[in-house]
Structure 1
Amino acid sequence: MRQQNARTAAQLTDWRARAKGRMIRIGHVIDKLREMPDRSVHCVVTSPPYYGLRDYGLEPVIWAPVRYAPMAGLPEMTFPDYADPAMFVGCDHDWGAWVENHDVREGAIAGKTRTTDRAYGDASRRFNGNHQKHAHGQFCRKCGAWRGCLGLEPTPELYIGHMVQVFRELRRVLRPDGTLWLNLGDSYASGNRGTSDADRKPSAHGMPAGPWDPAGIKPKDLFGIPWRAAFALQADGWWLRSDVVWSKTNAMPESVTDRPTRSHEMVFLLTPSERYFYDHVAIREPHAAESVARVARGRAVNHKWSNGPGDQTIANDLSKALHPSGRNKRDVWAISTKPYKGAHFAVMPPDLVEPCILAGTSEAGACPNCGAPWVRIIERAKSDCPASYRGSSFQRGKTAQAREGLSAVGTAPRGEYSVTTGWKPGCSCLARDLRRQDRVPCVVLDPFGGSGTTAMVARNLGRDWEIVEANPQYAALVDGRLGVPPTKLKATKTMRRSRIPHPQMEFFEGERYR
């Protein structure tokens, strides 16, 4: 990694100038991401609008036709299938019928659920914003562009295609050694046809007047949206490194009697390259109680590994089985949802965001010239092989030469525990004015900022942050959560955030609030 980040003094650019620090960008997510410089973000943590789950009542935006492969090894496809992406730029759009669909996903058997009244334009077009399957939008008859809001596409394939478009821009702004954490939930097929406006005729290209579930999807089928998205992004060039299960310890009950109640969502770890920054030490978790008790009990004298076997340190000395800093974090995270009083109904819990930022960014900051994160200086304590190894039954039946080799291996010093002794630059910058201790906070981005959970957690951890949000009203929620007086925001304006002092930014002496 140090060789990859090595630059000559003439090639270095000022990281402070490229990474804006703390900013809210309001508008269409793709347009706002295109305003950001290349490789300016260390970590992305985001939860896009789920497919068909919730209508936020936003103004529709235009999405270009998209071509992508649904899965690695499959041919690329264009969505919609008649579209010509080359015609999008400069197209004088001829919009077809506006389609709306607010079908109930699964009928309630008993009990009531909270509703969210929303309307398109006037009270006569009111709908329940939370507990229906939503779709709306219209297609251009010429180029195949779609006008609508992300999550309300008529088909899962189009929704995944728009996600691929957004993530192509994210791959550009993310550093090659960066990480992206994607939280997605799933939804069910309803099997119901949608309703359209007064123009109920199909478009000139045969597009239906109302959305319905795609071919092969049956009523009540689980779409599998998270994995569809993960496979499409993998085929588009992302490395799919982990599938974390977010187990909700206080999941909402569901009025269904023919399947289990859903109590989990997926969090995918995606990276733009094979090698990347990942601080596993920062997110170690406590050992299981059963493991601690087993070590405390020790091993019976008649245990099959009482004297060995071989070069396995743990088998020889059970006290080394538990790292003093905890175990490597598992991929099932039991985290409860958190209440939020603001006008936003899909808020990520801070406990879900925190390990993503801790693992994806360096707490010691980054190089101010090239942005490479500082890395831990790891040292390992050494210990001799326990005397119990010599004479092990593992050597029985071995030749004299084999026993001699095993004896040499068994008595050699071996690693015990890894310990962080400090931090060092993760690059080899040659700029003469770069002092060894100079560093700036790492930058965290959320392209679907919502109420600002990612920004709040990043600020609390001493990182810089940027968010993109389509709804100007939600930007005011971010101000409130970060302790900043609300400001009047315009939908087309990009606002520079004032830097907020925080005690956990003590690493960055003299650089914190510039």
Structure 2
Amino acid sequence: MPQEVEVRRVEEPEPLAFEQSTIFQGDALSVLRRLPAASIRCAMTSPPYWGLRDYGVETQIGLEETMPQFINRLVAVFREVHRVLTPDGTLWLNIGDGFTSGNRGYRAADKKNPARAMGVRPDTPDGLKPKDLLGIPWRLAFALQDDGWYLRTDIVWNKPNAMPESVKDRPNRSHEFLFMFTKSEKYLYNAEAVKERSETGGLRNRRSVWNVRTRPYAGAHFATFPPELVRPCVLASSGRGDFVLDPFFGSGTVGEVAQSEGRRYVGVEINPAYVELARKRLNAAETRIVRVAA
């Protein structure tokens, strides 16, 4: 007898609307797919770095077995960011780098910041050698460029107070990259709002090396954005009342800066503990929290 075929109706998830600053607790890709198209003017974020930290949440990004898997998952997330941006919208993306483990399957304990330590490290990626720099920022930047983004500039975030390293066979790394992507060839960029002081005391167009000291948020035990790294991005790429998106919201630095500059924000964060940190940090009366099932 022929096998009976099950027929059932699968409902599309309801769109997630927002009219005020909102934190969505849920997986970044799942939430972004339900946000309205062309609803966000500016996005600013720093996704989890590959193989660096275990946030203790299932489906988290950053613990993929291979580097291509990590890159591909981020490309999928930022494809949805591209969709929800307005045609003149901008994405500012900070991403850190690392070195191959030499197939060492463990990571030494981090006494200064235990939250950074993990029990395992990914294997050396195919094509790389022990002690190679991974090159993740540029690999991701080129993958996003191939996916349709306009890669407008790279910015060197120089950290004057960078943590020392114990290495003796290379310079200590004291910088990360911040990339500026746009959805279209023409986009909002308010150069006047982000001019900087020149050596002679006058104002000049902002340059591509930003000296910004790291500044931990007292309520968090993990790395956070310095507000002064976020502020120029928000001022250059949005206006008062616009929505600023951070799909990896963490403790809410992007939301705090957006709020202080008269913008609204949309944050997506998978870890409920970090959502609670952000709620305490931001004005609860102005923030709506929505828990989204996967």
Normalising by structure 2, we get a TM-score of 0.85
CA contact (8 A) 1:46 1:181 kept: yes
CA contact (8 A) 1:349 1:453 kept: yes
Matched, 1:176 2:87: yes
SS in 2 for 1:456: helix
Task: Summarize the alignment of residues 128-207 of structure 1 with structure 2, pairs less than 5 Å apart.
Answer: 149-192=60-103, 194=105
Distance in 2, Cα, partners of 1:171 & 1:260: 36
Are residues 475 and 160 of structure 1, via their aligned partners in 2, closer, same or farther at CA, if it must alter by over 3 Å?
Answer: same
Matched, 1:470 2:279: no
Matched, 1:212 2:211: no
State the match for 1:32 in structure 2: 31
Matched, 1:456 2:250: no
Task: Summarize the alignment of residues 478-493 of structure 1 with structure 2, pairs less than 5 Å apart.
Answer: 478-484=278-284, 492=292
Correspondent of 1:244 among 144, 155, 174: 155
State the match for 2:233 in structure 1: 356
Distance in 2, Cα, partners of 1:472 & 1:166: 20
* Post-superposition offset of 1:20: 2.5
CA contact (8 A) 2:22 2:290 kept: no
Distance in 2, Cα, partners of 1:490 & 1:57: 21
* Post-superposition offset of 1:492: 3.5
* Post-superposition offset of 1:493: 6.4
CA contact (8 A) 2:51 2:122 kept: no
- Looking at CA atoms only, which structure, 1 or 2, has the larger radius of gyration? 1
* Post-superposition offset of 1:192: 1.6
Distance in 1, Cα, partners of 2:92 & 2:163: 24
SS in 2 for 1:480: helix
Deviations 1:198-240 (A, max 9, x none): xxxxxxxxxxxx9521221111111000000000000110000
CA contact (8 A) 2:82 2:183 kept: yes
Normalising by structure 1, we get a TM-score of 0.49
Distance in 1, Cα, partners of 2:168 & 2:145: 35
Distance in 2, Cα, partners of 1:453 & 1:490: 18
Matched, 1:345 2:222: yes
CA contact (8 A) 1:187 1:222 kept: yes
> Aligned pairs, how many?
263
State the match for 2:7 in structure 1: none
CA contact (8 A) 1:472 1:490 kept: no
State the match for 1:262 in structure 2: 173
Distance in 2, Cα, partners of 1:193 & 1:261: 21
Kindly provide the amino acid, as one letter, of the partner of residue 285 in structure 1: E
CA contact (8 A) 2:23 2:290 kept: no
Are residues 211 and 53 of structure 1, via their aligned partners in 2, closer, same or farther at CA, if it must alter by over 3 Å?
Answer: closer
Kindly provide the amino acid, as one letter, of the partner of residue 212 in structure 1: D
* Post-superposition offset of 1:339: 2.5
Matched, 1:53 2:59: no
Deviations 1:299-347 (A, max 9, x none): xxxxxxxxxxxxxxxxxxxxxxxxx6x1000000000001222234110
* Post-superposition offset of 1:21: 2.5
SS in 1 for 2:266: strand
Kindly provide the amino acid, as one letter, of the partner of residue 47 in structure 1: S
Distance in 1, Cα, partners of 2:20 & 2:284: 16
Q: Which has the higher contact order (CA 8 A, sep 6+)?
A: 2
Distance in 2, Cα, partners of 1:168 & 1:360: 19
SS in 1 for 2:204: coil
CA contact (8 A) 1:19 1:41 kept: no
Kindly provide the amino acid, as one letter, of the partner of residue 224 in structure 2: V
Distance in 1, Cα, partners of 2:265 & 2:180: 19
Runs of 4+ in 1 over 3 A off after TM superposition: 489-494
* Post-superposition offset of 1:360: 0.4
Task: Summarize the alignment of residues 414-433 of structure 1 with structure 2, pairs less than 5 Å apart.
Answer: none
CA contact (8 A) 2:216 2:223 kept: no
